[in-house]
């Protein structure tokens, strides 16, 4: 336990990066993380701070792949991330891909347990350019195009397309000049990996002007880089953004109920869970 408390204190070493401003770099360096959960191989923390000239709330789960298996879970119908996580016996979970709000089915390429569930709709291509693919204990986050579907299906039993891609090989992907509401400040979810292969799930709260303004895609990429990620992929955001761990439940403040609490969770089509290798059912 002492080892993990020490790790918590040095959880997010700042890496050289082009800061949004010197003040933002200092704020991230000095942030005091509130501990939600500490266990061998996994930590869950949350913090409130001033960032990008606005109040922000960040919730983070970080875990080792040698202790926890990462899986994509595709329920039969729209489900709460927390309910799926509890049913699967997970230790942590985050909402995952985009979905068609009329048909309530995934709107991007999803492959689970060797079966392709859905393909990427053309209307999603303005933002879907990345893939999270799972093989053994390795988590691959890389560029994606629909022409990759056949190759991905041959190589991976589990994969999910989403986006936009935030970091590749430790470098931020620029979307300067992109216009439209999607690129503005919203609640955000992401999954990423460090250079050592640890997995990090992050949710940024938003739509609460006094507590959590939300982030643009560019601001989220900056935070991911500063918090030590080597590759990172934006997941579905807005009211879908939910981060959960079994020790304390929903860590962030989902926005669907328009209250800054843990009760505003939205039902989603799929999520990504982390479960211990040594669990017993």
Predicted confidence at residue 122, as pLDDT, reads: 97
Predicted confidence at residue 10, as pLDDT, reads: 47
Classify 238 as helix, strand or coil. helix
Predicted confidence at residue 279, as pLDDT, reads: 67
Cβ neighbour number for residue 117 with a 10 Å cutoff:
18
Closest to 142 measured CA to CA, from 209, 84, 192: 192
Structure token pair of residue 209? 């002007």
Predicted confidence at residue 23, as pLDDT, reads: 85
Spell out the alpha helix ranges (H) of the chain: 2-9, 22-30, 81-88, 149-155, 217-226
**CA distances (Å), 252 to each of 75, 118, 140, 263, 278, in order?**
22, 29, 25, 10, 27
Pair 167, 229: CB distance under 8 Å: yes
Euclidean distance between CA atoms 206 and 186, whole angstroms: 5
Structure token pair of residue 17? 């990066």
Predicted confidence at residue 21, as pLDDT, reads: 75
Pair 166, 191: CB distance under 8 Å: no
Euclidean distance between CA atoms 64 and 40, whole angstroms: 9
Predicted confidence at residue 36, as pLDDT, reads: 93
Euclidean distance between CA atoms 249 and 165, whole angstroms: 28
Per-residue pLDDT of the chain (281 residues; tens, 9 = 90+): 444 444 444 455 444 444 477 789 888 888 899 999 999 999 999 999 999 999 999 999 999 999 999 999 999 999 999 999 999 999 999 999 999 988 999 999 999 999 999 999 999 999 999 999 999 999 999 999 999 999 999 999 999 999 999 999 999 999 999 999 999 999 999 999 999 999 999 999 999 999 999 999 999 999 999 999 999 999 999 999 999 999 999 999 999 999 999 999 999 999 999 999 986 54
């Amino acid at each position: 336990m002492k080892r993990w408390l020490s790790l918590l204190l040095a959880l997010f070493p700042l890496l050289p990066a082009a800061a949004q401003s010197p003040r933002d770099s200092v704020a991230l360096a000095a942030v005091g993380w509130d501990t939600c959960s500490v266990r061998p191989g996994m930590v869950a923390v949350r913090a409130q701070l001033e960032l990008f000239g606005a109040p922000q709330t960040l919730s983070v789960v970080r875990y080792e792949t040698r202790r926890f298996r990462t899986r994509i879970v595709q329920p039969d119908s729209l489900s709460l991330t927390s309910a799926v996580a509890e049913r699967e016996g997970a230790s942590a979970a985050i909402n995952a891909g985009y979905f068609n709000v009329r048909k309530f089915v995934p709107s991007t390429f999803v492959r689970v347990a060797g079966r392709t569930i859905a393909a990427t709709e053309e209307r999603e291509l303005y933002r879907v350019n990345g893939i999270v693919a799972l093989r053994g204990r390795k988590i691959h986050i890389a560029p994606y195009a629909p022409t990759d579907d056949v190759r991905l299906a041959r190589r991976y039993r589990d994969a999910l397309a989403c986006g936009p891609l935030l970091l590749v090989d430790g470098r931020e992907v620029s979307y300067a000049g992109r216009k439209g509401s999607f690129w503005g400040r919203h609640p955000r979810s992401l999954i990423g990996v460090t250079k050592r292969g640890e997995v990090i799930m992050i949710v940024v709260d938003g739509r609460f002007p006094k507590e959590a303004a939300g982030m643009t895609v560019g601001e989220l990429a900056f935070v991911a880089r500063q918090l030590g990620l080597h590759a990172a992929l934006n997941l579905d955001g807005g009211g879908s953004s939910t981060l959960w761990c079994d020790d304390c439940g929903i860590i962030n403040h989902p926005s669907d109920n328009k209250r800054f609490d843990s009760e505003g969770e939205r039902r989603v089509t799929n999520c990504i869970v982390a479960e211990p290798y040594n669990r017993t059912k």
